Amino acid sequence: MARDGALYVCQACGAVHAKWAGQCSACLGWNTLVEEARAQTPPGALTASKSSKARAGLAFETLDVETLPPPRIVTGVEEFDRVCGGGVVPGSAILVGGDPGVGKSTLLMQVAAAASLRGARCAYISGEEAIEQVRARAQRMGLGHAPVKLAAETALRDIVEGLKRDRFDLVIIDSIQTLWSDQHEAGPGSVTQVRAAAGELVRLAKKTGVAVVLVGHVTKDGQIAGPRVVEHMVDAVLAFEGERGYPFRILRGVKNRFGATDEIGVFEMSDAGLREVKNPSALFLNEGGERASGAAVFAGIEGSRPVLVEFQALVAPSALGTPRRAVVGWDSGRLAMVLAVLEARCGLGFGNKDIYLNVAGGLRITEPAADLAAAAALASSALDQPLPQDCVVFGEVSLSGEVRAVSRMEMRMKEAAKLGFARALGPSSGTEGFSFPVAGVSKLADAVRRVAENDFQSARKAPAVVGVRGGKG
Q: Does the residue 223 lie in any domain?
A: yes
Query: Of 251, 278, 305, which one is at a domain's C-terminal end?
Result: 278
Q: Does the residue 49 lie in any domain?
A: no
pLDDT at res. 46:
44
Shared-domain flag, residues 304 and 265: no
pLDDT at res. 4:
56
pLDDT at res. 287:
61
Shared-domain flag, residues 24 and 142: no
Q: Considering only 56-60, 255-259, 313-317, 460-464, which range has the smallest mean pLDDT? A: 460-464
Shared-domain flag, residues 416 and 431: yes
pLDDT at res. 404:
92
Task: Tell whether the torsion through CA atoms of 451, 453, 457 and 458 is positive or negative.
Answer: negative
Summary mean pLDDT of the chain:
85
Give the global pTM: 0.77
Shared-domain flag, residues 274 and 315: no
Asked whether residue 434 carries a pLDDT value surpassing 80, the answer given is no
Instruction: Considering only residues 257 and 243, tell me which one the structure prediction assigns the higher pLDDT.
Output: 257
Asked whether residue 296 carries a pLDDT value surpassing 80, the answer given is yes
Over residues 141-191, the pLDDT tens digits come to 999 999 999 999 999 999 999 999 999 999 999 989 999 988 887 788 888
Q: How many CB atoms lie within 10 A of CB 435?
A: 10
Q: Does the residue 462 lie in any domain?
A: no
Q: Does the residue 469 lie in any domain?
A: no
Asked whether residue 455 carries a pLDDT value surpassing 90, the answer given is no
Task: Tell whether the torsion through CA atoms of 249, 288, 378 and 411 is positive or negative.
Answer: positive
Over residues 120-148, the pLDDT tens digits come to 999 999 999 999 999 999 999 999 999 99
pLDDT grade, residue 362 (50/70/90)?
confident
Shared-domain flag, residues 193 and 260: yes
Q: Does the residue 57 lie in any domain?
A: no
Shared-domain flag, residues 319 and 363: yes
Domain CATH number, residue 103? 3.40.50.300
Over residues 266-291, the pLDDT tens digits come to 898 888 889 998 888 877 776 656 77
Shared-domain flag, residues 397 and 348: yes
Q: Does the residue 463 lie in any domain?
A: no
Over residues 17-63, the pLDDT tens digits come to 888 888 988 888 888 888 877 655 444 444 455 554 556 678 898 98
pLDDT at res. 398:
94
User: What does the longest C-alpha to C-alpha distance in the chain come to?
Assistant: 87
Shared-domain flag, residues 294 and 272: no
What average pLDDT does the segment 80-85 reach? 93
SS3 readout for the chain = CCCCCEEEEECCCCCEECCCCCECCCCCCECCEEEEECCCCCCCCCCCCCCCCCCCCCCCCCCCCCCCCCCCECCCCHHHHHHHCCCECCCCEEEEEECCCCCHHHHHHHHHHHHHHCCCCEEEEECCCCHHHHHHHHHHCCCCCCCCEEEECCEHHHHHHHHHHCCCCEEEEECHHHCECCCCCCCCCCHHHHHHHHHHHHHHHHHHCCEEEEEECECCCCCECCCCHHHHHCCEEEEEECCCCCCEEEEEEEEECCCCCCCEEEEEEECCEEEECCCHHHHCCCCCCCCCCCEEEEEEEECCEEEEEEEEEEEEECCCCCCCEEEECCCHHHHHHHHHHHHHHHCCCCCCEEEEEEEHHHCCCCCHHHHHHHHHHHHHHHHCCCCCCCEEECCEECCCCEEECCCCHHHHHHHHHHCCCCEEEEECCCCCCCCCCEEEECEHHHHHHHHHHCCCCCCCCCCCCCCCCCCCC
Domain CATH number, residue 319? 3.30.230.10
Q: Does the residue 460 lie in any domain?
A: no
Q: Tell me the angle at which helices 332-346 and 444-453 cross, rounded to the nearest 10 degrees.
A: 80
Query: Of 249, 278, 307, which one is at a domain's C-terminal end?
Result: 278
Over residues 328-359, the pLDDT tens digits come to 999 999 999 999 999 999 989 898 999 999 99
CA distance 148 to 211: 15
Shared-domain flag, residues 289 and 361: yes
pLDDT at res. 372:
95
Query: Of 278, 309, 330, which one is at a domain's C-terminal end?
Result: 278
pLDDT at res. 31:
86
Shared-domain flag, residues 410 and 355: yes
pLDDT at res. 471:
40
Shared-domain flag, residues 315 and 446: yes
Over residues 84-129, the pLDDT tens digits come to 999 999 999 999 998 888 899 999 999 999 999 999 999 999 999 9
User: Structural domain of residue 147, as residue ranges?
Assistant: 78-278
Q: Does the residue 118 lie in any domain?
A: yes
What average pLDDT does the segment 419-440 reach? 81
What average pLDDT does the segment 227-252 reach? 86
237 burial via Cβ count (<10 Å: 0-12, 13-18, 19+): buried
Number of domains in the chain: 3
Shared-domain flag, residues 434 and 386: yes
Over residues 213-238, the pLDDT tens digits come to 999 988 776 677 767 788 899 999 99
pLDDT at res. 371:
95
